[in-house]
Structure 1
Amino acid sequence: MILANGTIVAVADGKTLKLFHNKGTETQLELAPMAEPSLDAGNAGSGARHQSSSANPDSSRGDEDAFAAASAEHLNQMALKNKLEHLFVIADPRTLGEMRKHYHANLKGKIVGDLAKDLTGHSVEDIAAAIHKA
């Protein structure tokens, strides 16, 4: 995948959102870390109706959905405030699916691609390599 200079790369999972700014050329990525966003995970996400029980013991699922929704809202606000022109999203499959449910139309128009893979604990070099392979 080739990303234009200035593209924002969001790397997320159910607990973490990391943002990078591509300062390199289209063929040579140079991902610079951006400030870690402060997110309000008060939005319950679409999984809020799934309560913990013996049938569904995963009590963290709702928290992860809420974090994914908050991550999408942060990206929505960046798009609406013209703080990003192009966006590439990398997230584990579940988080990516939840985030997609919350994208604003304005943000959807700025997404140049996404990758369903958990890379939050990986180095910048690993993230850049994954983007190149996408």
Structure 2
Amino acid sequence: MKCPHKAHVALVDGERFVLARNEGQLFEPKLSVVATPELETTNYSAGVRDQDDAGRRSGSSDLEELAHAAAVAEWLNGQAIDGKLGEIIIVADPKSLGEMRRHYHKELQSCLIGEIDKAIANEKLEAVAQAIERA
């Protein structure tokens, strides 16, 4: 996947959110951390919907994780609306990414240049950069 110079990369899992930026080149990303925002998880709307029937039956749907994903999307929406975001790639585990997509604002969607549905938010930035290169 192409990752333009100065593009942002959001690394998300059910508990962690890190915003990085590509300081490298288009096909050779080198990521550096820009922010690790503190989020308030107040949006528990996933519990109202039939989010994941199999997850509900097995007990694996964690509302805290889904609320965290919604909070990340809301934070990114605010940055996009304020014109502070630019191009962005979102790297998140599949469940978080699915919940985030439900909350994307059109301004965030216009900034979005790619998504990677892998649980690598806790990996070293070099490993994330390699995953972007391979995507």
SS of corresponding position for 2:76: helix
How many residues align structurally?
130
Which residue in the other structure is 1:84 paired with?
85
Which residue in the other structure is 2:121 paired with?
120
SS of corresponding position for 2:35: coil
TM-score by length of 1: 0.89
Q: For the structure 1 residues 59 and 28, does the alpha-carbon distance in structure 2 shift closer, same or farther, using more than 3 Å as the test?
A: closer
Letter in 2 for 1:42: T
Which residue in the other structure is 1:43 paired with?
43
Structure 2, unpaired ranges of 5+? 51-55
TM-score by length of 2: 0.89
Does residue 20 of structure 2 align to residue 20 of structure 1?
A: yes
| Identity across matched positions, percent | 37
Distance 1:93 1:20 in 2: 19
Structure 1, unpaired ranges of 5+? none
Letter in 2 for 1:14: G
1:60, distance to aligned residue in structure 2 (A):
6.4
SS of corresponding position for 1:34: strand
Which residue in the other structure is 1:6 paired with?
6
> Quick check: 1:48–1:65 contact (8 Å CA) kept in 2?
no
Which residue in the other structure is 1:102 paired with?
103
Distance 1:9 1:48 in 2: 30
Please, what is the CA RMSD of the aligned residues? 1.7
Distance 2:35 2:115 in 1: 21
1:120, distance to aligned residue in structure 2 (A):
1.6
> Quick check: 2:5–2:23 contact (8 Å CA) kept in 1?
yes
Letter in 1 for 2:59: D
